[in-house]
Amino acid sequence: MGDLKNIFSYCSKIVKDTGSLWVIIDTFKQDGKMKLLPFDLVREIENEWALQDIIIWAKDKTLPWSSKGRLRNIFEYILFFTKTGSSKFKYHIDKIKSTSDLKKWWVKYPERYNPLGKTPSRLWEIPYLEGDIWKISIPAQGTWGNGWVRHSCPFPPQLVERILLLTTDENDVVLDPFAGSGSVLAQARVMKRKAIGFDINEDFKKMYEESVYPEIESLWKTRKKELQKNDTSQQLLEDTIKKLRKLKYPKDLLKKSIKLGLSEDILSNLNSIFIIDEKHEIGRPQMYFVFKDLAPKDQMVSELWETNDDIPEWKYGFKPDIKLINQKDFIKKKKALRIPTKLFLYKNGSTNYYISSLTFDEWLNKSKSNDWKAQKKDVIPPILSNIKAREKERELK
């Protein structure tokens, strides 16, 4: 333990405040007693390294060590430290979020889901079959691939990849004071980091140069395409969730307003809601609550505004510009309000699947009919928008 403390103490002197320390470590038995090495290490280095998180690496396979009083262990602890007293450490959580394994509720409740995907849990499973489990299965203990790494505890490339994505950037220096066969160094190099490593076994240097780096470089060509595909999926999910949030916002607003005391009699005169999302003002959509004859009263405006303020901005990611207007004035101001020619109709309380498209003039004719009122659900009138969404409830796998 003293040697480890000295090494990590030296590391703290050369690592920047933006840097971090990752230690993969396990418990062991000595003289019939369990030694809690991970937790002993935390106490020994806490003056220089602050523990931020503990992650479980589910290895699946391991050497068949077991003994009386101890089951076969197929996991290890990953300790994530940053320099004590520093809050500047890098932590790019969005880079490792998953767009898979989202339950079907993300369509109807987009405000509950991060637009970039689901944050991984503390149990790591690789390949990321469920999106939030870090299980890096070992094909055969002591080897990787077709035997190109021979080491008692080799690190799989995707384990290193996730750590580097989370806490480093391109051109950062990655230091491994226990380099072994060099899998950390090789993965860092293919990800355009500057890699430095040390090991007391000279045979590992030749293995690294002849086998480890060439193999990881080859694997990275395929893996990089998978990451690019995930980036595309992440962008698509982000765009979709943001659209669904904008379409759902007025529905949430009206329901909350009623709970806070807004009269349903006033809302019975609400004919339509228009949501206009202009490209140059993507984060702040315009929302027009169009009333049939009755001009909105000051009290109602006040109550709606109070409800709007009660909805935290982080929940939807924006604060809309809301206007209450009667239908006659809305028609007169159509040009000034820049209402698009083509609109998508959402009715019967649905805000994730448009029923049809129609023009402003078609809306004008339809909104005067009795059928238009029948398209209300509770107090939610038909919604018209230039935002196009046709998302059915479904899980993302």
* Residue 227 to residue 120: CA distance in whole angstroms: 16
Kindly list the distances between the CA atom of residue 229 and the CA atoms of 124, 149, 235, in Å, as whole numbers in the listed order.
Answer: 21, 28, 10
Eight-state DSSP code of residue 244 = H
Q: Which two tokens stand for residue 273?
A: 């809601």
Model confidence pLDDT, tens digit, residues 209-251: 999 999 999 999 999 999 999 899 999 999 999 999 999 999 9
Model confidence pLDDT, tens digit, residues 95-151: 999 888 788 889 999 999 999 998 888 887 765 444 444 555 555 544 455 554 554
Kindly list the distances between the CA atom of residue 100 and the CA atoms of 72, 113, 146, in Å, as whole numbers in the listed order.
Answer: 31, 12, 30
Residue 264, burial from CB neighbour count under 10 angstroms (0-12, 13-18, 19+): exposed
pLDDT bin (cut points 50, 70, 90) of residue 279 is low
Do strands 149-150 and 383-385 pair parallel, antiparallel, or not at all (unpaired)? unpaired
**Average pLDDT over the chain, rounded to whole?**
86
Model confidence pLDDT, tens digit, residues 177-198: 999 999 999 999 999 999 999 9
Q: Are 185 and 208 in contact (CB under 8 A)?
A: yes
CA 385 to chain CA centroid, Å, is 27
Write down the CATH number for the domain with range 2-238. Answer: 3.40.50.150
Query: Is pLDDT above 50 for 389?
Result: yes
Please state the pTM of the whole predicted model. 0.82
* Residue 212 to residue 77: CA distance in whole angstroms: 24
Q: Are 170 and 163 in contact (CB under 8 A)?
A: no
Taking CB atoms within 8 Å and a gap of at least 24, the contacts of 157-160 are: 157/183, 157/186, 157/187, 157/216, 157/219, 157/220, 157/223, 158/126, 158/127, 158/223, 159/57, 159/124, 159/126, 159/134, 160/184, 160/187, 160/188
Number of residues in the chain: 397
Taking the domains of the chain in order of start, what are their residue ranges? 2-238, 244-385
Residue 365, burial from CB neighbour count under 10 angstroms (0-12, 13-18, 19+): exposed
